[in-house]
Amino acid sequence: MSTSTTDLTPDHDDHEAVPLLERMPGRGSAAAWPLALVGAALLIAGSFLSWSFPDDVLGDLSVNFYPNGLQLCVVALGIAAVIFLLAYRGPLSRLGDWLDAASALRWIGLGAVIYMAATIIAIGWQTGAILNVNPGGWITLIGALLLLAGSLMLVSRNTRDPLFAKTSSWFEIITIIVLLALVLFGAAYALGLEDAVSFALFLLFAGMLSMALTKAGVFTWLGVVSQKNRQVLMFGAFAVAFLFPFTQGGSDENMSIATQVLIFAATALGLNIVVGLAGLLDLGYIAFLGAGAYVGAILSNSAFATIGWKPPFIVVVLIGALVSAILGLIIGSPTLRVSGDYLAIVTLAFGEIFRFTMGNLDGNNGPDLTNGPNGIPAIPDLKFGSFDFGQPHEVFGITLGRFANYYFLLLVIAAFIIFVFIRLNNSRIGRGWVAIREDEKAAEAMGVNVFGLKLFAFAGGAFLAGMAGTVKAHHDVSVTPDQYIFLESAFLLAAVVLGGMGTVAGVLVGATILKLLPEKLRFIADYRLMIFGLVLVLMMRFRPEGLIASQRRKLEFHHDDEDLAQRIEEVHLEEAEAKA
């Protein structure tokens, strides 16, 4: 990987320009590889021994030769370290030509050290004494330290860019299937963790392993593979999402979190059209979700609904989406003539106006439509014919509760939103939005209908949010104005920015992170906003294009990286030649 800083040699002409890592004592030592291998072996062996004397800490870490989930995470890190060591020197050395095994090993070693240190501290904190840590925990920590020390002395040897790796189609498809299966079982295991510290440790494991694979170049190759097998990846992802409720054993708590994530993700995908494609900063987008929710509540069979007409739910979805789209047109027509900070201020004001308006439609300050601050409670569950979403149903011997029923409905709506987003993104309209985002004046000079496309982006995004809102009303059982505050708009915008503007997978990942973490890490609820702000600052500094960014966005944020531009251009040329 020619862009890696570890490729610089220690005898560089300018000593100050050589990274500190390259000047470390023992760099390139013959003992580095055996030391790292011993560390990986101890990492695996120690995980099969008891870590804790009490049996009620972080699950049960007190049994020898019967590791629990947290210990198996360390085993996975050890196995990954062995594979990269064999790729660095051994029977997998041909693989090492394509992957930066040394960088991956450093991240695995660092992750294992932090993981074990946090685990030992947690055991000592929960039991009241560090002496309650059994020898297995210390052996595993020593193994992690040896692995880190050995990996720091290794020198990168990869000579080929994984961006140009050629693999057979069947191998790529199998890799996608295995990866999706790991995502399914990993998500099921993570949601099943009731202890917040255990959940945080699992996140640390997943994050460090992902960083190791990223530094090695595995995700670079996976990005190319995903582009070549987009249909397989798409159908596989929906299969995983469909099977997810069957892994929860009828848990209403976990499925409630999953449905909230889907509502949030579906709404964020609509915002992705406005922000990610058209480049319009909207800080009041939550109002469109609220408009759809209020339509769903007012036209429901609730005893507190103020309108006597009760159409079928399919009609309600369309009405809610259209009302939101009309609001998008109303607010968009005058405000889209401004841009940048002014547009952000106006949309923020629109979101607050919507919330106060819903609170004033109580029959005293305005028409009796929304019951004012009290909202519309007691919204009944949906019914499609004889199918009641509020009742549990047994499928393949597994009981699926109320939230699982709504999960499947929201999955269909999310699939429709993703389909619309992809079609728009790949159309002339999508290219027009991108042109407006990059340079509005240049786009207008080239004949792009700037105002029309901006208005369509506002209305289209609002339409999709309104669809999700109608389901949210029945899922939440009640609708009140205080559910649609500015902070919710900020979190939606953060999900788009954090995941990767203009991409589907990025927004789904961002929405999942921002909705799932507060639910599972309630012990840091008082510091949630501080941690959230810190994460965004770090993201803007080190990865402004988002966690999962398109190649176009990478170039926009790294326009001075000539090597990256050349690599992406070569890949595009190869894809064009293959299609021809």
Domain end: 497, 519, 538, which one? 497
Query: Do 335 and 368 fall into the same domain?
Result: yes
Residues 141 and 272 in one domain: no
Lowest average pLDDT, out of 305-309, 409-413, 468-472, 490-494, goes to 305-309
In a domain, 266, yes or no: yes
153 touches 559 (CB < 8 A): no
Classify 165 as helix, strand or coil: coil
- Which pair of structure tokens corresponds to residue 250? 């009828």
Same domain, 84 and 216: yes
456-480 residue pLDDT tens: 998 999 999 999 999 999 999 999 9
Quote the pLDDT of residue 564. 54
Q: Of all helices (H) and strands (E), which one includes residue 393?
A: strand 393-395
Position 523 in a domain? no
Residue 14: CA atoms inside 13 Å, Cβ hemisphere, count?
Answer: 3
In a domain, 544, yes or no: no
- Give the count of beta carbons closer than 10 Å to the beta carbon of residue 373: 12
Dihedral Cα 333, 334, 336, 340, nearest 10 deg: -160
Distance CA 79, CA 401 (A): 38
Distance CA 59, CA 43 (A): 20
Residue 459 structural domain: 251-497
Q: How many domains does the chain contain in total?
A: 3
pLDDT digits (tens, 9 = 90+) for 15-54: 443 455 555 566 677 889 999 999 999 999 999 999 999 8
User: Is residue 48 a part of any domain in this protein?
Assistant: yes
Question: Would you say residue 301 lies in a domain?
Answer: yes
Q: Are residues 51 and 149 in the same domain?
A: yes
Q: Is residue 527 part of a domain?
A: no
- What pLDDT, on the 0 to 100 scale, is given for residue 14? 39
- Confidence band, pLDDT 50/70/90 cuts, at residue 322: very high
Taking 80 as the threshold, does the pLDDT of residue 567 lie above it?
Answer: no
| pLDDT tens figures, 385-411 | 788 888 888 887 788 888 999 999 999
Q: Rounded mean pLDDT of 66-81?
A: 93
**pLDDT for the residue numbered 26:** 61
Separation of alpha carbons 90 and 225, rounded Å: 26
Single residue among 240, 271, 305 that ends a domain in this structure: 240
The predicted-structure confidence for 345-384, as pLDDT tens digits, reads as follows 888 999 999 999 998 888 787 788 888 888 899 899 888 8
Mean residue pLDDT across the chain: 84
What does the pLDDT read at residue 545?
76
For residues 226 and 190, membership in a common domain is answered with yes
Examine the pLDDT at 63 and tell me if it is beyond 60: yes
Tell me which amino acid residue 350 is.
Answer: F
DSSP annotation of 531 reads H
Tell me, what's the pLDDT at 83?
94
Q: List, for residues 188-232, the tens digit of each pLDDT value.
A: 888 888 888 898 899 999 999 999 998 888 888 888 888 788 888
Residue 12: the pLDDT is 41
Per cent of the chain over pLDDT 90 is: 31
- The reported pLDDT for the residue numbered 230 is 82
pLDDT, tens digit (0-9, with 9 covering 90-100), for 129-172: 888 899 999 999 999 999 999 999 988 876 777 777 788 888 88
Residues in CB range of 369: below 8 A, 6 or more apart: 298, 306, 307, 361
Confidence of residue 562 (pLDDT cuts 50, 70, 90): low
If asked whether residues 145 and 288 sit together in one domain, one would say no
pLDDT over threshold 50, residue 4: no
> What percent of the chain has a predicted confidence (pLDDT) above 70?
89
